[in-house]
Amino acid sequence: MENKELGIYIHIPFCKHKCDYCDFVSFSNKQNLVEGYIEAVKKEIKKYLNNKEILENYTVTTIYIGGGTPSYINDIYILEIVELLQSYLKENKTNFEDMEITIEVNPGTVNKEKLEQYRKAGINRLSIGLQSTNNEILKEIGRIHTFEQFLETYSMAKEVGFHNINVDLMIGLPNQTIEDIKESLNQVIKLNPAHISVYSLIVEEGTVIAQKIENHQLQEMDEELERNMYWYVKNMLELNGYQHYEMSNFAKEGKESKHNLNCWKQKEYIGIGLAAHSYLNYIRYANTSEMEQYITRMNAFDGQMINHILELSNHKEKKALEERIKTVYEIEEIQEAEDRKREYMLLGLRTIKGVCISKFKEKYVDNPIFLYRKELEKLVEEKLVIIDGDYIKLTNKGLDLANLVWEEFI
């Protein structure tokens, strides 16, 4: 039987400065914690990849190093992590040339030497956080770089041999105008990156930007203007050869993010590090978000824990195993068959192609058109989804009101 695909996400929770909109588990100016944290990460990697069931039944196809700002810490730590993964994965005949290995970098945190080290280690995809080409807006949202520093980083990345580069942009930022969006897109399109992600600002409770809006220092963007920005971005990027393949993501042909696509296809992945989330054997679980607790747990981590996760669905002593798993991981969901089907619909409807009916039937036997006839009748009637040949997908109206579609499958 063919091995199942597996993604690996590594969380590096350190950054030079926390952006005003960020609610991820990350810390600024905590260099003293880096070494101990990386040691704990390496211990967690070893526990997973020492496991015979993982090595024999899964093929790792993507590695994604995110944060925080992974490029903020010394490159030696990143190299240690990648080399450790490679040393284990060679045992299950992983082809590293076919594997997508991504690292997130921010301008001002890398130099040419650091990028060269990443390249030599086998990292073959960069995701660079730009957000805007307007330096005033960057300053206003707590970014510590300028557009000029981004251009320098991008140029260095191309020079050392990175051809698969993603650029992050944001829309819906306070004081941002359509003209700002046009300028940002024009400048980025000129660089011809393989991939562009465009995220709408979500004002998360407890963030600096939420406090500024509450104190009337900044004004939250009008929803209609934000939607106009979204449609301008979509049309402009498609006109310039970028395929819109997921709500916030655009790519040149064949350059879609494999790591993210696999998540939307409901493939399995393991999350390594603080607050990292995993999906394995129909269980969604996460690491603690407390640094000291994470390091303590990894130091005492019994490798048998991975077997407990892999056995849980079919084990007679389900409750006992659950309690053991909870000593290391926080279990978020143990999926039953119906949960998996609904989630497949929800994830598929994040993509522009939508849910493939024949693939749903292949995976779950049931026909989703019949299984979710009430939900689909309602969504089709409201012009939020259409059934187009072998696909169930969002309409243009559905793209604007996607939350209403997803709610039907929660």
pLDDT tens, 120-148?
A: 999 999 999 999 999 999 999 999 999 99
pLDDT of residue 62: 96
Give the closest residue to 120 by CA, choosing from 128, 131, 112, 109.
112
Nearest-angstrom CA–CA distance, 40 and 299 = 7
Rg, the chain, Cα only:
22
Averaged pLDDT score across all residues of the chain: 94
**Cβ(38)–Cβ(163) under 8 Å?**
no
Q: What angle do CA 169, 170, 171 make, to 5 degrees?
A: 135
CATH number of 4-264: 3.20.20.70
Structure tokens at 137: 């807006």
Please indicate, yes or no, whether the overall pTM of this predicted structure exceeds 0.85: yes
- Residue of 10, 14, 63, 16 lying closest to 35 (CA atoms): 14
Q: For position 315, what pLDDT does the model report?
A: 63
pLDDT at residue 1 tops 60: no
10 token code pair = 């590594």
DSSP state of 91: G
Rounded Cα distance, 286 and 276, in Å: 6
- Does the pLDDT at position 183 exceed 60? yes
Would you call the peptide bond into 389 cis, given omega within 30 degrees of 0 as the criterion? Answer: no
Q: How many residues does the chain have?
A: 410
Give the pLDDT of residue 318. 80
Quickly list H helices, 201-317: 208-214, 223-239, 258-264, 291-299, 304-311
Per-residue pLDDT averaged across 374-386, rounded? 97
Does CATH place domain 337-407 in 1.10.3300.10? Answer: no
Side chain identity at 72, as an amino acid letter? Y
Residue 323 identity: E
In this prediction, residue 319 has a pLDDT band, given cuts at 50, 70 and 90, of: confident
Instruction: Note whether 348 and 355 are within 8 A (CB).
Output: yes
Provide the pLDDT confidence category of residue 95 given band limits of 50, 70 and 90.
confident
Residue 16 reports pLDDT greater than 70? yes
Q: Is the pLDDT of residue 63 over 70?
A: yes
Domain extents in the chain? 4-264, 337-407
Q: What share of the chain is helix, strand, coil (3-state, %, to 5)?
A: 45, 20, 30
Distance, CA of 101 to CA of 253 (rounded, Å): 18
Q: Could you tell me which of 52, 46, 53 has the C-alpha nearest to residue 8?
A: 46
**Rounded (5°) CA angle 143-148-150:** 60
Give the model confidence (pLDDT) of 78-88 as tens digits.
Answer: 999 999 999 88
pLDDT for the residue 44: 97
Per-residue pLDDT, averaged over 356-370, amounts to 97
pLDDT at 97 over 90: no
pLDDT given at position 143? 94
